[in-house]
């Protein structure tokens, strides 16, 4: 089978500089400055918070935050961040920093000032939709398929399965195949807004505290995923999968040892909200065993592909969980990487060292299909 995974390079090819990191951040700031944003969903103060985070970067480079990372994954991300921005200086603008890197600075900042879990979550979510709104670009990103050439559409139709790290639906609009959105999509509602989900059958259901979804801003209620590292994205994707496994173990355990029921009963009145939620989730699963926490299975499916893989518009310097999935998959017989620079070729050879590799000059490719 022939597979394709594509990234933001495709969006930039047809949408131009509007979808580069710098333009997205500039647009996010301008949206707030011109009051062209949904204040009911995210506050104008998030722009000021972004500027505060930017001012902290020099301290990060100088090592002031070195002792404020508490997981190995965060430590690795901090090391890579300092390597990427070792030339950071007073002339480095807020838009010169990768938008997803600000999520790492957010974590460090919250650790330093001991911001509680609820507030740090609210700040992170506001930052997330602040950026997503700018990427969405008043819906213009969803119209880029109208610029696709017949040659590019023909190229897309050569593949049996197509995966993407993008949020937009453009490729889906021009071919008769389903697209697997590894990081979610603008047109897929997040599970927390689904009243029939297991999460919303618990006593503290998110839908109870959420007002009606604001029309024309469905992209901000979507399952589009942003984070500071590939490992953290994978962790977020896998969280609900792990929760389902845990719940199934509880149900099986109670069937095998019904005497545990007395212990479970005590959890209903526990002080800890997570424990109380676990009690109610078990009770719901006992009545409706097929009900699960929903999660995006695209990355899981991608890890099982077989045959030929083509990689287009996806940098080897980002989303290492994608390349790790490729490296770990011995069912992939060959990889064709569309490279922009010689540095990318060198990195791919290092990252995917157990695969048969082929390289195609992406500049020549675009000249042929555009």
Mind listing the pLDDT tens digit for each residue in 149-187? 999 999 999 999 999 999 999 999 999 899 999 999 999
Domain that holds residue 46: 17-137
Rg of the Cα atoms in the chain: 22
Nearest alpha carbon to residue 53 among 12, 117, 113, 7: 113
Q: Which residues of the chain have pLDDT under 50?
A: none
C-beta of residue 190 within 8 angstroms of C-beta of residue 222: yes
Same domain, 41 and 80: yes
The pair of three-digit structure tokens given for residue 24, joined into one six-digit string: 């997205």
pLDDT tens digit string along 189-230? Answer: 998 888 888 888 888 888 776 767 888 999 999 999 999 999
Please tell me the predicted confidence (pLDDT) of residue 205.
81
Same domain, 112 and 35: yes
d(CA 273, CA 268): 9
Number of domains in the chain: 2
Please tell me the predicted confidence (pLDDT) of residue 36.
96
Look at the pTM and tell me if it is higher than 0.85: yes
Residue 359 lies in a domain: yes
C-beta of residue 305 within 8 angstroms of C-beta of residue 1: yes
Residue 229 lies in a domain: no
Q: How many residues does the chain have?
A: 370
The pair of three-digit structure tokens given for residue 137, joined into one six-digit string: 């670009």
Exposure letters 241-253 (e unless 16+ CB within 10 A, then b): bebbeebeebeee
Same domain, 344 and 308: yes
d(CA 69, CA 322): 24
Residue 269 lies in a domain: no
Under DSSP, the state recorded for 183 is T
Nearest alpha carbon to residue 54 among 18, 4, 101, 121: 101
Nearest alpha carbon to residue 47 among 26, 64, 72: 26
List the CATH number of the domain containing 165: 3.40.50.1220
The pair of three-digit structure tokens given for residue 47, joined into one six-digit string: 């722009």
Biggest alpha carbon–alpha carbon distance for the chain: 69
Please tell me the predicted confidence (pLDDT) of residue 250.
82
Same domain, 160 and 133: no
Please tell me the predicted confidence (pLDDT) of residue 208.
76
- C-alpha neighbours within 13 Å on the C-beta side of residue 356: 8
Residue 312 lies in a domain: yes
Same domain, 72 and 129: yes
Same domain, 124 and 58: yes
Please tell me the predicted confidence (pLDDT) of residue 113.
95
Same domain, 64 and 115: yes
Where does a domain end: 137, 168, 192? 137
Please tell me the predicted confidence (pLDDT) of residue 277.
87
- C-alpha neighbours within 13 Å on the C-beta side of residue 208: 7
CB proximity list for 317: less than 8 A, separation 6 or greater: 347
The kind and range of the H/E element at 245 are: helix 230-256
Please tell me the predicted confidence (pLDDT) of residue 7.
97
Same domain, 53 and 119: yes
Please tell me the predicted confidence (pLDDT) of residue 246.
87
């Amino acid at each position: 089978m022939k597979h394709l995974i594509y990234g933001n390079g495709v969006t930039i090819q047809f949408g131009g500089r509007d979808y580069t990191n710098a333009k997205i951040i500039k647009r996010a700031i301008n949206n707030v400055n011109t009051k062209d944003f949904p204040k009911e969903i995210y506050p104008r103060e998030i722009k000021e918070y972004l500027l505060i985070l930017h001012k902290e970067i020099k301290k990060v480079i100088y090592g002031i935050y070195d002792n404020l990372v508490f997981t190995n994954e965060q430590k690795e991300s901090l090391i890579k961040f300092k390597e990427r921005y070792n030339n950071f200086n007073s002339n480095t603008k807020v838009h010169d920093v990768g938008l997803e890197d600000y999520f790492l600075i957010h974590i460090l900042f919250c650790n330093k000032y001991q911001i509680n879990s609820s507030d740090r979550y609210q700040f992170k979510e506001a930052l997330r939709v602040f950026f997503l709104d700018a990427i969405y670009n008043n819906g213009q990103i969803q119209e880029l398929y109208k610029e696709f050439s017949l040659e590019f559409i023909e190229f897309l139709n050569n593949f049996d399965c197509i995966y993407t790290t993008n949020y937009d639906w453009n490729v889906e609009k021009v071919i008769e195949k389903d697209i697997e959105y590894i990081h979610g999509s603008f047109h897929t509602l997040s599970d927390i807004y689904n009243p029939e989900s297991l999460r919303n059958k618990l006593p503290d259901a998110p839908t109870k505290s959420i007002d009606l979804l604001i029309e024309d801003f469905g992209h901000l209620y979507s399952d589009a995923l942003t984070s500071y590292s590939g490992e953290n994205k994978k962790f977020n994707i896998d969280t609900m999968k792990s929760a389902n496994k845990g719940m199934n173990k509880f149900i099986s355990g109670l069937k095998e040892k019904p005497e545990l029921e007395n212990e479970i009963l005590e959890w209903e009145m526990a002080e800890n909200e997570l424990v109380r939620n676990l009690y109610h989730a078990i009770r719901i699963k006992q009545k409706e065993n097929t009900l699960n926490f929903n999660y995006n299975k695209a990355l899981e499916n991608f890890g099982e592909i077989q045959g030929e893989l083509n990689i287009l518009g996806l940098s080897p310097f980002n989303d290492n969980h994608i390349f790790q999935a490729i490296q770990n998959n011995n069912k992939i017989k060959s990889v064709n990487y569309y490279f922009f620079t010689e540095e990318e070729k060198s990195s791919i050879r290092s990252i995917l060292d157990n695969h048969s590799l082929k390289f195609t000059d992406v500049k020549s490719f675009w000249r042929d299909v555009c």
